[in-house]
């Protein structure tokens, strides 16, 4: 299956950096706890290439649910990318990708086929009715901080002033266990 996905990836069209366009650095968290969780993450990473240029993808970790604990375990990873999308435009693309992959709206912190959160967008701080960046619970979530520290340990949280490595040291990561190497690693590196 991975070879087929890798063969498809070069055919995708990246949104090019047009003359004078600003390329924005973003960090995303991806998680799945329904269906074929690993395949859901692979498909989501592949789908991101339609509006982002991936620069790093963490290994996959298995984690306990956060918030509502009576549900299956999650697989989680983080990705770094660049995009020409605005923060709200990026959110719209992510919600569309989640729906295309089978996510259905249920309840807060409930089970899901795929969940994609914007963790950081440049060093911007945004808080409105649709979007909060940096992600409001990032500093509390080992399932985000462990994979994010793999790809961006020196990234500094613009509000807290701490690096991701420092934030990771402040959370209990005992229920975050390695699951697999980076999905589509060879595809996004090409």
Q: What residues are annotated to the active site?
A: 103, 112, 115, 117
Q: What is the DSSP string of 119-152?
A: EEETT--EESSS-EES-TTGGG-HHHHHHHHHH-
- Burial (CB < 10 A; 0-12, 13-18, 19+), residue 128, is exposed
Q: Which residues contact 124 (CB under 8 A, 6 or more apart)?
A: 87, 133, 158
Among 140, 151, 129, 130, residue whose Cα is nearest residue 173: 140
Provide the Cα torsion 16, 18, 20, 25; round to 10°.
-20
Q: Which residue has the tokens 């690096």?
A: 163
Number of H helices, E strands in the chain: 6, 8
Neighbours of 50 (CB within 10 A): 13
């Amino acid at each position: 299956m991975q070879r087929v996905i890798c063969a498809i990836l070069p055919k995708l069209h990246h949104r090019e950096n047009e003359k004078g366009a600003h390329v924005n650095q973003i960090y995303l968290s991806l998680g799945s706890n329904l269906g074929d969780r690993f395949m859901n993450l692979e498909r989501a990473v592949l789908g991101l290439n339609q509006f982002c240029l991936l620069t790093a993808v963490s290994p996959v970790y298995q984690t306990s649910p956060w918030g509502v604990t009576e549900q299956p375990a999650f697989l989680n990873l983080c990705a770094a990318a660049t995009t020409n999308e605005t923060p709200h435009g990026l959110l719209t693309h992510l919600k569309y990708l989640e729906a295309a992959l089978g996510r259905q709206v249920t309840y807060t912190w409930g089970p899901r086929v795929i969940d994609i959160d914007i963790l950081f967008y440049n060093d911007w701080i945004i808080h409105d009715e649709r979007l909060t960046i940096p992600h409001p619970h990032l500093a509390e979530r080992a399932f985000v901080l462990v994979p994010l520290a793999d790809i961006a340990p020196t990234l500094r949280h613009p509000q807290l002033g701490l690096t991701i490595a420092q934030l990771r040291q402040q959370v209990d990561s005992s229920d975050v266990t390695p699951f697999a190497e980076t999905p589509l690693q060879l595809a996004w590196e090409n």
